[in-house]
Amino acid sequence: MKLLIKNGRIVDPASGRDERADLAIAAGRIVAIGKVSADFHASRTIDASGLVVAPGLVDLAARLREPGHEHEGMLESEMAAAVAGGVTSLVCPPDTDPVLDEPGLVQMLKFRARNLNLAHVYPLGALTRNLAGEVLTEMAELTEAGCVGFSQAEVGLKDTLVLHRALQYAATFGYTTWLRPNDAWLGNGVAAKGALATRMGLTGVPVIAETIALATLFELMRDTGARVHLCRLSSAAGVELVRRAKAEGLPVSCDVSINNLHLTDVDIGYFNAAMRVTPPLRQQRDRDAIRAGLADGTIDALVSDHTPVDEDAKTLPFAEAEPGATGLELLLSLALKWGSENGQSLGQTLAKITNAPVGVLGDSLGSLAASAGKIVEGGVADLCLFDPEARWIVRSGNLRSQGKHTPFGGYEVPGRVRCTLVAGAVAYEARE
């Protein structure tokens, strides 16, 4: 299959390329950018006039809900949601049922995902068996099965001794540990600690739940030399601690979710369970620090933190409602919204959801490391074609994900995906 994408504006954050040019694809790879030779006979030509041709998006946090939570999402629906959002590579956390703590489960998930032929799926393995925080998993076996790192997902690791050993072990083999900085004892509330939680009578998670966990992790990293990716920062104080750790040279990277980038606890309104997300939405100053941290590179990547939750689990009193929101189909638009509000160029904005997250994944991507999240000749043709001028209104009814709950319902957002290519094949095409 030979494909020619004509007249598009090619924006590649990795190389800084931003120009109107044609792009030729053959055998799943990009064979020419700009000068397409006359003897290239495309079997299909896509007219990308008015569209941006960007690398396929890379989302470092998307729950596919398989195995175990099929009522909340299925690989088919969630992968369809991914490509409809322009996402061609995604990392999924291990909090499935059963937990991704055995190579067989990881191989099964990779196999199922590959057969769907939609986005590339990179699972995180469980750091401890059944995420119970007691026994380490077989990390080398899991890596061989396709895991790109090890994580406790949302389950806190209370025992510092186990955490220390887990980091030592992971560091031995150069594996990255993905952890959400949240003290397991202080971090149990349902909203951010503050005036709003106090007024509404909701249990609050204090900022110190994040900063204490960060301080502990940084000490353990200094001791073990382990590389850690911090998942979902939520506070201004947390962003500042990460900034200092990076300045010190610690091997740390971090991400933030679209929810914490745009919302604050005030959005909870009258106990709106769509705003029940993890980590909880904090105050204005935290959101401002997160937005600035993403711009200056303290925060490496923006993630959807896609978590499909079914109706029954959300129509409950706020504290009882299951945390999480759908996000794969909103990642691009909410990145663009942040970028335009924060004075970022299109390339700078797209970097946060393309080559910067690939940098987090590093060598664990294997043969794709050189081309994922980038547009390079000879590289795999994972591409997202979107209309930067189109605006659309988020309605839960027109999302492909089985998760229909989003805090952004009714928002008018910029940027609409028109076509997504995965390894040179059209995985999604908007019907107009």
Catalytic positions? 305
Task: Determine the Cα–Cα distance for residues 186 and 208; give it in Å rounded to an integer.
Answer: 8
Using CB under 8 A, which of 74, 202, 231, 427 touches another protein? 202
Nearest to 143 by CA among 157, 155, 159, 126: 126
Q: Which long-range contacts (CB under 8 A, 24 or more apart) does 24-29 make?
A: 25/381, 25/421, 25/424, 26/1, 26/2, 26/424, 27/1, 27/424, 28/380, 28/381, 28/423, 28/424, 28/425, 29/378, 29/379, 29/380, 29/381, 29/424
Helix residue spans in 297-413 (DSSP H): 311-314, 331-341, 346-351, 355-361
- Binding piece for another protein, criterion CB under 8 A, among 93-101, 288-296, 316-324, 419-427: 316-324
- Binding piece for another protein, criterion CB under 8 A, among 34-42, 52-60, 167-175, 266-274: 266-274
Counting contacts by CB under 8 A, is residue 320 touching another protein? yes
Shortest Cβ 345–another protein spacing (Å)? 33
- Binding piece for another protein, criterion CB under 8 A, among 61-69, 81-89, 314-322, 333-341: 314-322
Shortest Cβ 316–another protein spacing (Å)? 7
Nearer to another protein, 41 or 199 (CB): 199
Counting contacts by CB under 8 A, is residue 272 touching another protein? yes
Counting contacts by CB under 8 A, is residue 392 touching another protein? no
Counting contacts by CB under 8 A, is residue 370 touching another protein? no
Task: Determine the Cα–Cα distance for residues 110 and 295; give it in Å rounded to an integer.
Answer: 33
The first and second tokens of residue 151, run together, are: 């994580």
Q: Other C-beta atoms within 10 Å of 161: how many?
A: 7
Nearest to 95 by CA among 289, 319, 323, 345: 323
Tell me the C-alpha to C-alpha distance, in Å, between residue 348 and each of 13, 16, 157, 268, 339. Answer: 7, 9, 35, 31, 8
With b for 16 or more beta-carbon neighbours within 10 A and e for fewer, the 393-405 pattern comes to ebeeeebbbbbbb
Nearer to another protein, 195 or 370 (CB): 195
Using CB under 8 A, which of 149, 194, 323, 415 touches another protein? 194
Tokens 């109706």 found at: 311
Shortest Cβ 201–another protein spacing (Å)? 3
Nearest to 305 by CA among 343, 339, 271, 334: 334
Counting contacts by CB under 8 A, is residue 282 touching another protein? no
Residues near 201 by Cβ (< 8 Å), separated by ≥ 6? none
Counting contacts by CB under 8 A, is residue 173 touching another protein? no
Nearer to another protein, 209 or 385 (CB): 209
Task: Determine the Cα–Cα distance for residues 188 and 177; give it in Å rounded to an integer.
Answer: 22
Counting contacts by CB under 8 A, is residue 188 touching another protein? no
Task: Determine the Cα–Cα distance for residues 310 and 82; give it in Å rounded to an integer.
Answer: 18
Using CB under 8 A, which of 201, 249, 343, 397 touches another protein? 201
Counting contacts by CB under 8 A, is residue 397 touching another protein? no
Tokens 């600035």 found at: 292
- Binding piece for another protein, criterion CB under 8 A, among 96-104, 145-153, 164-172, 264-272: 264-272
Counting contacts by CB under 8 A, is residue 409 touching another protein? yes
With CB under 8 A, what is the number of residues at the site for another protein? Answer: 23
Using CB under 8 A, which of 104, 249, 269, 397 touches another protein? 269
Using CB under 8 A, which of 35, 49, 247, 270 touches another protein? 270
Using CB under 8 A, which of 35, 199, 343, 367 touches another protein? 199
Shortest Cβ 269–another protein spacing (Å)? 6
Shortest Cβ 13–another protein spacing (Å)? 34
Counting contacts by CB under 8 A, is residue 200 touching another protein? yes
- DSSP annotation of 95 reads -
Counting contacts by CB under 8 A, is residue 316 touching another protein? yes
Task: Determine the Cα–Cα distance for residues 395 and 9; give it in Å rounded to an integer.
Answer: 28
* Numbers of helices and strands, H then E, in the chain: 13, 19
Counting contacts by CB under 8 A, is residue 315 touching another protein? yes
Counting contacts by CB under 8 A, is residue 317 touching another protein? yes
Nearer to another protein, 160 or 315 (CB): 315
The first and second tokens of residue 126, run together, are: 């469980």
Nearer to another protein, 198 or 284 (CB): 198
Counting contacts by CB under 8 A, is residue 266 touching another protein? no
Site of interaction with another protein (CB under 8 A): 193-195, 197-202, 269-273, 312, 315-320, 409-410
